[in-house]
Amino acid sequence: MADTRFTGSEPKGSSVLIGSEPKGSSLRVLVIDDSELTLDFLRMLLGRSGIETRAILELEALDAELADGWRPDAVLADVNMPDLEPGEVVVKLRDDARLVDVPIVLCSGMESEPLSTLAATCGADGFASKADGLDNLPNTLRSLCRRDAV
């Protein structure tokens, strides 16, 4: 698999227009974060861009969230989850057969350089630094999913 890392701060002007996806083909993203405030913000940000989101506060809720057969096209996961080492969330998600081929993007308030290193070390497909802003996150997720499908 080619290296398809995205920083969350790629240049604006993507060929995908925000909200341009035909009905029924919306990108599906599972957001995992232990902060309800962050989950609400990310759902709003992604939802305004036409991205279908589901959100969980802890990995233990994953089975219940996927019980109805819904599968994400990508997972956006917080780096620092309770009872896990930074980035360990990626390992746990990769161990789940339903998500083994789903791109995982780490999201954190860390600066880009250490976040990039952590993402590479733990096997994430990309990262988004809240410190750099998340305005381009919807396009980043779309780009990652398109590249993963090729």
For the chain, give the mean pLDDT: 83
Name the percent of the chain in helix, strand, coil, to the closest 5: 35, 15, 45
First CA to last CA distance, the chain: 10
Domains and CATH numbers, the chain: 28-149 (3.40.50.2300)
| Helical H segments across 6-111, by residue range | 36-48, 62-66, 88-94
Is 72's pLDDT higher than 70? yes
pLDDT at 20: 35
Is 23's pLDDT higher than 80? no
Residue type, 36: E
Cβ(129)–Cβ(106) below 8 Å: no
DSSP class of 123? T
- Model pLDDT for residues 73-112, shown as the tens digit of each residue: 999 999 999 999 988 999 999 999 999 999 999 999 999 9
Q: Count how many residues are written for the chain.
A: 150
Is 2's pLDDT higher than 60? no
| Span 50-58, average pLDDT | 95
Is 7's pLDDT higher than 80? no
